[in-house]
Amino acid sequence: GENVEQHPSTLSVQEGDSAVIKCTYSDSASNYFPWYKQELGKGPQLIIDIRSNVGEKKDQRIAVTLNKTAKHFSLHITETQPEDSAVYFCAASNPGDYKLSFGAGTTVTVRA
């Protein structure tokens, strides 16, 4: 089955700086890569996703890049703000598959 590895496990950044989280996946057939943000005491929420026919996608301060050849994808948060502090999960799934394989999560702390 799909195995998703996520790094780093914790990330502390100064407000206004950028944060980058990296994930690798094992199954070359995977074609859908979402990112979820989980705030304290809440469930994970989708913040951005990318499909394998696209190399990069941006939504305001967040962007995701995908390298299919290397089987890795990354989340970039620019101009970080205190409300960006949360646990971020990457995930991957195969075409037509209901199962989403999650990375282990990255706890991001934005220092004021």
| Structure tokens, 98 | 């209901």
| Structure tokens, 62 | 């967040």
Q: Which of 41, 69, 83, 112 binds other proteins (CB under 8 A)?
A: 41
Q: Which of 58, 61, 99, 111 binds other proteins (CB under 8 A)?
A: 99
Residue ranges in 10-39 that form contacts with other proteins under rule CB under 8 A? 31-32, 34, 36, 38
How many CB atoms lie under 10 A from the CB of residue 2? Answer: 17
Choices 13-21, 43-51, 62-70, 75-83 (CB under 8 A): range interacting with other proteins = 43-51
Sequence letter at residue 78: T
Residue 89 engages other proteins in binding (rule: CB under 8 A):
yes
| Structure tokens, 72 | 């890795």
Residue 51 engages other proteins in binding (rule: CB under 8 A):
yes
Nearest to 36 by CA among 105, 93, 111, 108: 105
What are the two backbone dihedrals, phi and then psi, of residue 43, each rounded to the nearest 5 degrees? -85, 160
Strands 101-102 and 86-92: antiparallel
Closest distance of CB 98 from other proteins, Å: 5
Residues contributing to the site for other proteins (CB under 8 A): 31-32, 34, 36, 38, 41-46, 49, 51, 87, 89, 93, 95-100, 102, 104-105, 107
